[in-house]
Chains A and B, each alone.
Chain A
Amino acid sequence: MPLLEVTDLRTYFTTDAGVARAVDGVSLQLEAGETLGIVGESGCGKTVMALSILGLIPSPPGEIVAGSSIRFNGEELLEVKPARLREIRGNEISMIFQEPMTSLNPVLTVGHQIEEVLRLHRGLKRREARAAGVALLAEVGISEPDQRYDSYPHQMSGGMLQRIMIAIALSCEPRLLIADEPTTALDVTIQAQILDLLVSLQQKHGMALLLITHDLGVVAEVCDRVVVMYGGQVVETGTTEEILSHPKHPYTQGLLASLPGIGDRDVRLNPIPGTVPSAVDWPEGCRFRDRCSFAWERCAESEPDLLPVVAGASRSARCWLVHPDESSIDRAGKPT
């Protein structure tokens, strides 16, 4: 049984412009101890999916459509009581956010905020909680943890704050950690340190990691498997190696092609044309076809399913190009 099994998750928001289908039929699985990367542009539904798993979608305007299922460790999260959900949050599933600078309460010391989680979920006394909190700060690589424990968030740098967020998230030794772009707000050297820290702590505690990012470099470094999202849907899944070396979906190919390579000084970057369409009206048929250089009539007529790339393997892509009918298509250009 997988640790986390999301099946046909649909999270819709009612807005003045219509119903925004932010997450529209996402299914994914995560085994215990595994690292899964969720990749995609801004606005493709990555964060909404993460918040849906934790039951943090504000309702109204948000709504998780009937038929969706999120099973964590065999328990259906969409049906548990609020009290049980609060027990799971922070205790069995933790989340770290993109902006460490604003994710901590500015008027409380960082120690106070670590202590609060330890006392709530693990029932520690104040003194024990302090000892455990200082040990956690040391574990996430904060020097002089005993003194830093009584500091306020504004006295620390972004990198240290993200370490503290990690300490808080790990304080109850969760089985699943959701990291929503944990390194986006940090500068490059700190990014690498934070990633190293995450990976080493993950291995040490044996937890599963759901890493949301738009940075394929991060994915290559950390993840076992990758889910590529576009338009609120999964468009391609596979192992990191397969995805990075043999991308099947034109969107994944575009993402990879838009990365600069070392030594390509004189080569122009190759961005994907256009922007992600609005979640209120996704295009008919394939949602990527307006931006796809391969698109033909079939893409507009009907939407492809998530098709297996090789029969029997866990690798699939949401594109007519991988459909057996279309195997004759010349990949270099548009079919005629």
Chain B
Amino acid sequence: MTDAGFETSDLRVDPTGSGPNRSVGRGRGGVVLSAILPGVPQLLVGRWGVGGLGLIVWTALLAVLLTRWTRFAAGWGGPLDHQIASLTVVAGLLGVWGWSMFDVSRPAEVKRTGVGQWSLAAKAFEKNRIAVLGLIVVVCVYLIALVTPLVTPHDPATQASLVTARLVPPGGEFPLGTDHLARDVFSRIMYGARISLSIGFVAVGISVTIGTLLGAVSGYLGGWVDTVVMRFVDMVISFPRLVLLITIVALFDSNSIFMIMAVLGFTQWPGTTRIVRGEVLSLREREFIEAARALGFSRSRIILRHVIPNVLAPVIVASTLGIGNVIVLEAGLSFLGMGLQPPTPSWGSMVADGRDHLLAAWWISTFPGLAIVLTVVAFNLVGDGLRDAFDPRLRT
């Protein structure tokens, strides 16, 4: 009667590809090692991606905690960003330590169920060295942004003596030199990271939400809804983006960070909409969507719970690449003086500040420029890696 007896043999056991080496770094020794240096047991078994990430985060945060103990302790009573910074240190340390201990003490045989697209993609991603490197950089930049108040040597807006500390070359008290207003470039870059990353994150959050919903609805419903949405997309895309941004910013005349986030977010979505619509058009002809209708599911339920989960992979790729794109745009706006107003440190405006002194003081423009490049390249590497990881044709 039942065919299940011999069908159990087609179980895909073990999603993480445990080779014979998996047992190294486990057991009592692994647990002790993990308790002192999380990430090392994973490095020992060849999972250098997650292991390296864990180890870097652990040592960096530990270094911050030990060298900046007074600021860390004072942070709890300080302003909000100090509290967040102190909280990040604690949460990061506990998180890495807990993850590593859990990972080491987990039984060697892996759960047989639950090998979904996410764990398959994670496994493929972990094999892509360049992408993991990008991910490590991205995580580090985010960490720096979060713990900045604890680690910066100087206040980003305070000027040192304009007589003695103006345009000081890198080295000594000012690791990356000072600008024409005697402010520490290194501290300003660290604070600038928070601006760039939060703008990138929120703007892409806005654009992905709008883009995914519009694309899914447009593709699934088709007909006049589709026509209206896609013509609107064409219209938004046909505007030169930078000119549009400058116009909007000039129109509102208040360049708060939220304003910039909103403006970038509300002009970023058409790309996502197109990607999602294209996916949904082929998805809605699939049998499981018809089966869902035959089960009496409503349209909104089908779109939200059956269509959108199926397009998340390309959406995640698009948004990772989109963060890099938004960071560059924000830098461009700030460079043109249309972004955040001084003295808020933004990478774009720092590059602009150094323009007049490029020959005398190259460091003012160069280091924020490098920060932009490094961050954007890292995001693009992660995005490319994710795209490959989600593509079953590229899995081996």
Q: Hey, which bits of chain A sit against chain B, CB under 8 A? A: 54, 56, 85-91, 94-95, 97, 99, 102-109, 116-117, 120-121, 141-144, 147-152, 155-157, 159-160, 165, 168, 189-190, 193, 196-197
Contact = CB atoms under 8 A, between A and B. Distances in A.
A109 B305 contact: no
B119 to A, nearest CB: 10
Nearest to B286: A102
A94 B294 contact: yes
A121 B12 contact: no
B306 A109 contact: no
A86 to B, nearest CB: 4
In this complex, the interface size class of chain B, counting residues with CB under 8 Å from chain A, is 20 to 34
A151 B114 contact: yes
B240 interface: no
Given A94-B294, A141-B4, A150-B113, A155 B288 contact: no
B231 interface: no
Contacts of A85: 296
A178 to B, nearest CB: 9
Given A103-B288, A107-B309, A190-B3, A143 B8 contact: yes
A162 to B, nearest CB: 10
Contact of B297 (A120, A142, A155, A160): A120
B290 interface: yes
A152 B116 contact: yes
A56 B293 CA distance: 7
A88 B116 CA distance: 32
B294 A89 contact: yes
Contact of B296 (A87, A106, A189): A87
B282 interface: no
Contact of A105 (B8, B12, B306, B312): B306
Contact of B3 (A89, A116, A148, A159): A159
A144 B8 CA distance: 9
Contacts of B394: none
A143 B3 CA distance: 9
Given A117-B295, A189-B3, A107 B287 contact: no
B309 to A, nearest CB: 5
A73 to B, nearest CB: 16
A306 B4 CA distance: 45
B113 A56 contact: no
Nearest to B112: A147
Contacts of B294: 54, 56, 89-90, 94-95, 97
A318 B369 CA distance: 82
A193 B2 contact: yes
B117 interface: yes
A158 to B, nearest CB: 10
A108 B312 CA distance: 12
A72 to B, nearest CB: 14
B366 to A, nearest CB: 45
Nearest to A144: B8
Contacts of A149: 113
Given A89-B293, A120-B296, A121-B296, A105 B1 contact: no
B11 interface: yes
A193 to B, nearest CB: 5
Given A90-B294, A102-B288, A155-B12, A107 B114 contact: no
- Report, nearest first, the 10 A-B pairs whose CB atoms are least far apart: A90-B295, A89-B296, A143-B4, A90-B296, A150-B113, A86-B296, A102-B287, A141-B2, A95-B294, A103-B291
B113 A148 contact: yes
A89 B306 contact: no
B5 interface: yes
A192 B125 CA distance: 43
A193 B2 CA distance: 7
B297 A86 contact: yes
B290 A168 contact: no
A197 B310 CA distance: 31
27 contacts: A56-B290, A56-B293, A86-B298, A91-B296, A97-B291, A102-B288, A103-B288, A104-B291, A105-B310, A106-B117, A106-B288, A106-B310, A107-B117, A107-B312, A108-B306, A108-B309, A109-B114, A120-B296, A141-B1, A141-B3, A143-B2, A143-B4, A147-B112, A152-B114, A157-B7, A159-B7, A197-B1
Interface in B270-313: 286-288, 290-298, 301, 305-306, 309-310, 312
A160 B296 contact: no
Which of B292, B301, B310: most chain A CB closer than 10 A? B292
B109 interface: no
Contacts of B298: 86
B5 A143 contact: yes
Interface string B1-38: 11111011011100000000000000000000000000
B117 A150 contact: no
A241 B286 CA distance: 38
B370 interface: no
Contacts of A103: 287-288, 291
